[in-house]
Amino acid sequence: MELHEVDYKVPEGKLVRLRAQLDGDKLCSVTITGDFFLYPEERIAELEKALAGKRLEKVTLQKIVSQTLSNCQMVGVSPEEFVIALLRLQKDSL
């Protein structure tokens, strides 16, 4: 397993910081931090849980992120931007 980190500044938006353990293209665990706004806030922990064990593959990630964050209001970030940040994890090993 390898630790990967990504800092992704959403254009015209806020910063999303990811810290993840990867096993190949499998996301073992991820912590999502940053200065964005998301309501209800607790949903971010649910997203982290839903992403654990999944492959870093665009369609899979899009499905998980949009399902877990459905009915959430976001400011400075969006489901698409979370997916962009997640896909960058594979390129950024420490």
User: Which residues are at the interface with another protein (CB under 8 A)?
Assistant: 7, 13-14, 17, 19, 31-41, 44, 73, 75-76
To another protein, the closest distance from the beta carbon of 36 in angstroms equals 6
Which CB atom, from 18 or from 64, has the smaller least distance to another protein?
A: 18
Neighbours of 49 (CB within 10 A): 12
Given a contact cutoff of 8 angstroms between Cβ atoms, the answer to whether 5 and 18 are in contact is yes
> DSSP string covering 22-68, please?
EETTEEEEEEEEES-EEESTTHHHHHHHHHTTEE--HHHHHHHHHHH
Shortest separation between residue 31's beta carbon and another protein, angstroms:
6
59/73 with CB nearer another protein: 73
Smallest gap from Cβ 35 to another protein, in A, equals: 4
